[in-house]
Amino acid sequence: MTADSPLNRWEQRTEVPLALASLAYLAGYAVHVLATGLPGVWRDLCLAVTLAAWALFAVDYAVRWRLSGQGPRFVRRHWLDTLVVLLPLLRPLRIVRLYEAVLRRRGEPRLSLHARVIVYAGVSTVLLGFAGALAVYAQERGAPGTEMPTFGDAVWWACSTLSTVGYGDVTPVTPLGRFIAVGLMACGLALLGAVTGSFSSWLIQVFASEGERTGEQKGKHGAERGAEAADGTGPPGS
Amino acid sequence: MTADSPLNRWEQRTEVPLALASLAYLAGYAVHVLATGLPGVWRDLCLAVTLAAWALFAVDYAVRWRLSGQGPRFVRRHWLDTLVVLLPLLRPLRIVRLYEAVLRRRGEPRLSLHARVIVYAGVSTVLLGFAGALAVYAQERGAPGTEMPTFGDAVWWACSTLSTVGYGDVTPVTPLGRFIAVGLMACGLALLGAVTGSFSSWLIQVFASEGERTGEQKGKHGAERGAEAADGTGPPGS
Amino acid sequence: MTADSPLNRWEQRTEVPLALASLAYLAGYAVHVLATGLPGVWRDLCLAVTLAAWALFAVDYAVRWRLSGQGPRFVRRHWLDTLVVLLPLLRPLRIVRLYEAVLRRRGEPRLSLHARVIVYAGVSTVLLGFAGALAVYAQERGAPGTEMPTFGDAVWWACSTLSTVGYGDVTPVTPLGRFIAVGLMACGLALLGAVTGSFSSWLIQVFASEGERTGEQKGKHGAERGAEAADGTGPPGS
Amino acid sequence: MTADSPLNRWEQRTEVPLALASLAYLAGYAVHVLATGLPGVWRDLCLAVTLAAWALFAVDYAVRWRLSGQGPRFVRRHWLDTLVVLLPLLRPLRIVRLYEAVLRRRGEPRLSLHARVIVYAGVSTVLLGFAGALAVYAQERGAPGTEMPTFGDAVWWACSTLSTVGYGDVTPVTPLGRFIAVGLMACGLALLGAVTGSFSSWLIQVFASEGERTGEQKGKHGAERGAEAADGTGPPGS
């Protein structure tokens, strides 16, 4: 894949507009769900913004499929994009890309691998948790026997689910609410995996570099520096 | 072990029939448990299908034991197969093998290691969660003070258990239901381990390849490519 | 430390007696707690057995301290033994050593690293869960507002705690019961760490061996064998 | 950064006073919250100690910023310090540094990497759990419908949250209490990641050293020693 292919140019040009559309999608949905005091026409407008953003993503998906010239394999290769088109609640994940694009434009060096994993996992979790709390709250608030009378309860429930703590003092009771909740649980598992995995690989890396140093610099002041290496994973030449 | 041993031939020939038997086992059990409105004769038929599938697996186990010529060591070496013969609820795990056999026949390349772990863990979790919810529901629905009046509640409980969230709004109350639940908890722990472990090893692999590249290609455009390497774990030569 | 030091000889000779004492300790405590129908004199006998086993461990600890000739550093170096002497509930952990001693006497090869970690974690978890359920049950059964009227409830609670699921349908209410419960939670965390860690390191090992093979045997039939390598981590020469 | 820079000298000299200030902060806050029977003047004094310690940290932060000469980048580079200045509840984390300083003064060798991670994670968890329980208890005890009438309940809740068990028998009900609880959940996730990550990297290290030995010493008594290597990760030359 050359850097000047039409597909690449399309992706570069649509990056910022699509990220803004994601924000508009999430904001429109949030206002539609939460601002129950608004006149109906405003809430309908918000819903229209949400649907328009969705349509935009579908168009982008179709254009990229066409430009890639890959036929049906495109659907499987870009399964995350396919999923995002089908499940609009996952759309906020695109905002993570915007964050990276902004960093790149400002000419700052890209973050280290572990910092990036932590930032991605953190931002994704916050966005998915917010979107999940919105969607579950929209389902649950009117249900008989609901345990989420306020949006604060829904956020509290989403936090306890994403951290896999699961108090159970607030739980969804409607079938659709529970279906979305299962998705949030899966996100919680993935978040746990990301946190644990980064920590584990960071430790292994620190350990390997400590081993190399004490091997290389034995006799000088290796032990002292090796011990310091465990506090920060700065480049070996610093 | 040569590729043409009788054991290998037996395993290749029975792969698809046994996988179909697994599906029949699960489907028969599901209909037997869920279709309470069916006439008794149909439910008995489903139970018969389930038991026949079980018998088939026992026969397969016996034949493979005989063909292996390993004597008692076979039981310990193939402890997973032994467990599946004893605990029929784990049988759906064989469907995972069918999926791989299908992939192979269609001539598609095998998935990468991490993709395979994720696919296996996902398929196993869905199948075991479904089988566990069925078995617990069969125990719990008639119990006094039950918290699972519908199968939907049992599925919701299974999801919250497998993700180790554990809300506790729906829990089994019968001894046998709790016994099966402990098995599901163990599956949840294993699932968590699989997700976390794949993530961790994937990160370590990405990190190692990034380190190699920046080491090898320093001076060219190493930093740029090293940064890209973190997004996809494609082969180093791509 | 030479293999013939008095400390080593002492440890070899006391291995089996101490493991039997651990079993007697656990069994005595279990009968003392559970057999409420027994005449008082039998329950007192069980308590005596438990205390005698405890005294035996204290004597063993003192002798080993003396033989080691390490002075106060012994307490910190053998902190696990110190903890076991202070907290008798952790004593069943010694049974794990008996299992290994038995394996060694029967001349069987020691298990692989991952199998050993899984076996140790599994056996420790079962023993600690049983001991924890006993201790918490002894505290909780008579408390006002107890949620553990039967020992089955205590076991169910211990399982949901050790897997970090934590339904919360059964929870300790007395201060001492909660104190022991916190210990079980820590064990659950450690168990999770052991399962996840073994899985992660197993995956990394499989991946490394797969990488070496495709590197070494490229051109032959490396891809096919490399793909097979992911199913079992047998030695490369098999 | 040279070892004699003013920044380094400042940090070395303020290490112990600041750690003592952290202890004073935590102790003052604890007495202020828990000793409800004290005359008002004493509780105000405790609050004053807490605020004075906070001011001390702000001064230290400002001095270090000035001495570093880094301008606005200091805030991002020392984000943990920034967070501690903003969120005083995280301040007890500094006590971990005191522990290390004490170890260094007594001339003892620094702990191994894994031991240090375990010790840091353990001490941080205990301190943060205590501070979190205090803060949540201060919010919750007077709330209508509170589930934490005593500080013991708050500690029990903090333990079940930090281990991600999450029984849900005791949960915060006020918005601010829940906000702090979300922070504790994040700590629980991090603790889980630290435990799992250390275990995973320890296993990988043991495995690598086992592999090297069996490779190097094949023919001698490599299998026996390789098997022993799994029990302790002592230096290869021992």
pLDDT for B222: 36
pLDDT above 60 for B42:
yes
DSSP label of D111:
P
Radius of gyration, CA atoms only, chain B? 23
User: d(Cα C136, Cα C89) in Å, to the nearest integer?
Assistant: 11
Counting as contact any 3 or more CB pairs under 8 A, the partners of D are: A, B, C
Q: Mutate which of A187, A201, A202 to test chain B, going by most B C-beta atoms within 10 A?
A: A201
pLDDT digits (tens, 9 = 90+) for D10-60: 877 887 788 788 888 888 889 988 888 888 888 888 889 988 988 888 888
Mean pLDDT of chain A: 77
pLDDT in tens, D161-206: 999 998 989 999 999 999 999 989 988 888 888 888 887 777 777 7
Of A132-146, A219-233, B88-102, C29-43, give the lowest mean pLDDT range. A219-233
Find the residue in D nearest to A125 (Cα): D186
Chain D residue nearest residue B193, CA to CA: D196
Q: Which of B114-118, B218-222, D219-223 has the highest mean pLDDT?
A: B114-118
What does the alpha-carbon distance between residue C153 and residue C171 come to, in Å, rounded to a whole number? 9
pLDDT tens string A49-67: 988 988 888 888 888 888 8
Question: Is residue A10 within 8 Å of A63, Cβ to Cβ?
Answer: yes
Smallest CA–CA separation between D212 and chain C, in Å? Answer: 13
Subunit partners of chain C (3 or more CB pairs within 8 A) = A, B, D
Alpha-carbon torsion angle B95, B99, B101, B107, nearest 10: 170
Across residues C125-129, what is the average pLDDT? 86
What is the per-residue pLDDT for C66?
Answer: 87
| Distance in Å from the first CA to the final CA of chain A | 37
Digit-coded pLDDT (tens) for C22-44: 888 888 889 888 888 888 888 88
Find the mean pLDDT for residues C128-145: 90
Assign residue A164 a region: left if phi > 0, alpha if psi is -120 to 50, beta otherwise? left
Instruction: Identify how many contiguous H helices and E strands chain A contains and give both numbers.
Output: 9, 0
pLDDT of residue C18: 80
Measured distance CA(D218)–CA(D226) in Å, rounded: 10
Please give the pLDDT value at position A86: 73
Please give the span between the terminal C-alpha atoms of chain D, in angstroms, as a whole number. Answer: 37
The ipTM (two decimal places) reads 0.78
Find the mean pLDDT for residues C131-155: 91
- Give yes or no for residue C129 having a pLDDT over 60: yes
Query: In whole numbers, what is the pLDDT of chain B averaged over residues?
Result: 77
CA distance linking residue C108 with residue B38, whole number of Å: 54
What was the pLDDT predicted at D220?
Answer: 42
Q: State how far the Cα of D6 lies from the Cα of B59, in Å rounded to an integer.
A: 79
Q: Give SS3 for B171.
A: coil
CATH fold group of domain D111-231: Helix Hairpins (1.10.287)
Q: Output C14 or A151, whichever has higher pLDDT.
A: A151
Give the count of Cβ contacts less than 8 A between chain B and D: 11
Could you please state the CATH topology (level 3) that the domain comprising B111-238 is classified under.
Helix Hairpins (1.10.287)
Share of chain C above pLDDT 70, in %: 74
Tokens matching residue D108: 């003892």
The helix (H) or strand (E) run that includes residue B188 is helix B175-216
Query: Alpha-carbon distance D227 to D210, whole Å?
Result: 8
Q: Do D198 and C193 lie within an 8 Å CB cutoff?
A: yes
Q: What angle do CA A120, A77, A56 make, to 5 degrees?
A: 70
| Chain D residues whose C-beta sits inside 8 Å of any chain B C-beta | 164-168, 196-197, 200
pLDDT for A113 equals 67
| pLDDT higher than 70, residue B204 | yes
Q: Is the pLDDT of residue B145 over 70?
A: yes
> Does A175 score more than 90 pLDDT?
yes
Exposure pattern of A90-114 as b/e (b: 16+ CB <10 Å)?
bbbbbbbbbebeeeeeeeeebbbbb
Q: Do C189 and D198 touch (CB under 8 A)?
A: no
pLDDT of residue D221 exceeding 50, the answer is: no
Residue C96 is predicted with a pLDDT of 63
Return the residue matching tokens 């010529």.
B69
Contact A207 D201 (CB under 8 A): yes
What are B100-110's pLDDT values in tens digits?
A: 666 666 665 55
Show which residues on chain D lie within 8 Å of chain A, measured between beta carbons: 110, 113-114, 116-117, 161, 164-168, 171, 175, 178, 181-182, 185-186, 188-190, 192-194, 196-198, 200-201, 204-205
What residues in D contact C186, CB-CB < 8 Å? 163
Chain C residues inside the 8 Å CB shell of A164: 164
Q: Within its chain, how far is the Cα of C83 from the centroid?
A: 13
Q: Quote the minimal CA–CA distance from A164 to chain C in Å.
A: 8
Extents of the domains making up chain A: 1-88, 111-238
Indicate if the pLDDT at residue B57 is higher than 80.
Answer: yes
CB-nearest to D182 from A159, A201, A202 is A159
Alpha-carbon distance of D123 to D194, in angstroms, equals: 12
Tell me the pLDDT band of A234, cut-offs 50, 70 and 90. very low
Chain A residue with the nearest C-alpha to that of C161: A165
C224 — pLDDT class (breaks 50, 70, 90)? very low
- CB–CB contacts below 8 A, A to D: 82
Give the alpha-carbon dihedral of A149, A154, A156, A158, to 10 degrees. Answer: 160
CA distance C184 to D165: 11
Number of C/D CB contacts below 8 angstroms equals 82
Tokens of C4: 């013939």
- Residue D45 Cα, gap to closest chain A Cα (Å): 35
- Which member of C156, C191, C200 has the closest CB to residue B196? C200
Find the range with the poorest average confidence among A151-160, B36-45, C29-38, C94-103: C94-103
B133-142 per-residue burial string, b: 16 or more CB within 10 A, e: under 16: bbbbbbbbbe
Task: Decide if pLDDT at D234 tops 70.
Answer: no
Instruction: Give the tens place of pLDDT for each residue, C45-92.
Output: 888 998 898 888 888 888 888 888 777 788 777 777 777 777 766 666
In B, minimum Cα distance to C214 occurs at B235
Q: What is the rounded average pLDDT of the residues B130-146?
A: 90
Q: Among A21-35, B18-32, D195-209, which stretch is predicted with the lowest mean pLDDT?
A: D195-209
Residue to mutate among B198, B200, B207, with most D CBs inside 10 A, is B200
Q: Which residues of C touch B204 (CB under 8 A)?
A: 204
Cα(B32)–Cα(B38) distance, integer angstroms:
9
CB B156 within 8 A of CB B136: no
For residue D57, give how far its alpha carbon lies from the nearest alpha carbon of chain C (Å).
Answer: 33
Of the segments C1-5, D68-72, D215-219, which one has the largest average pLDDT value?
A: D68-72
DSSP A88: G
Q: In which residue are the tokens 């490229």 written?
A: C218
Label residue B116 by pLDDT band (50, 70, 90).
Answer: confident
Distance from CA of C40 to the nearest CA of D (A): 34
- CB–CB contact C168 B166 (8 Å): yes
Best mutation site among C198, C202, C203, C231 for testing chain B: the one with the most B CBs within 10 Å? C203
Q: Using the beta-carbon criterion (under 8 Å), do C168 and A164 form an inter-chain contact?
A: no
Q: Nearest CB to A166: which of C166, C196, C197?
A: C166
Nearest CB among A160, A169, A196 relative to D197 is that of A196
* CA distances from residue D57 to C220, D86, D132 in whole angstroms, order as listed: 65, 10, 20
- DSSP code string of C141-208: TTSTT-S--SHHHHHHHHHHHHTT----SS---SHHHHHHHHHHHHHHHHHHHHHHHHHHHHHHHHHH
Task: Report the pLDDT value the prediction gives residue C36, as an integer from 0 to 100.
Answer: 81
- Give D199's contacts in chain C (Cβ within 8 Å): 190, 193-194, 196-197
Say if residue B187's pLDDT is above 70.
Answer: yes
Residue C119: pLDDT band by 50, 70, 90 thresholds?
Answer: confident
Segment of A66-80, C157-171, D192-206 carrying the highest mean pLDDT? C157-171
Supply the pLDDT for residue D231: 38
**What's the pLDDT score for residue D213?**
60
- Residue contact B166–A171, C-beta within 8 A: no
pLDDT band of residue B136 (cuts 50, 70, 90) is very high
D→C contacts (Cβ < 8 Å), by residue, are 152, 156, 159-160, 163-169, 191-192, 195-204, 206-207, 210, 227, 230
Give the 3-state secondary structure percentages of chain C, helix then strand then coil, rounded to 5.
75, 0, 25
Residues of A with Cβ-Cβ distance to B210 under 8 angstroms: 113
User: Which of C167, C188, C197 has its CB closest to that of D199?
Assistant: C197
Report the pLDDT value the prediction gives residue A137, as an integer from 0 to 100: 94
Helix (H, G, I), strand (E, B) or coil at D231: coil
What share of chain A in percent tops pLDDT 90?
A: 17
Strands (E), chain C: none
Token pair belonging to D11: 């940090």
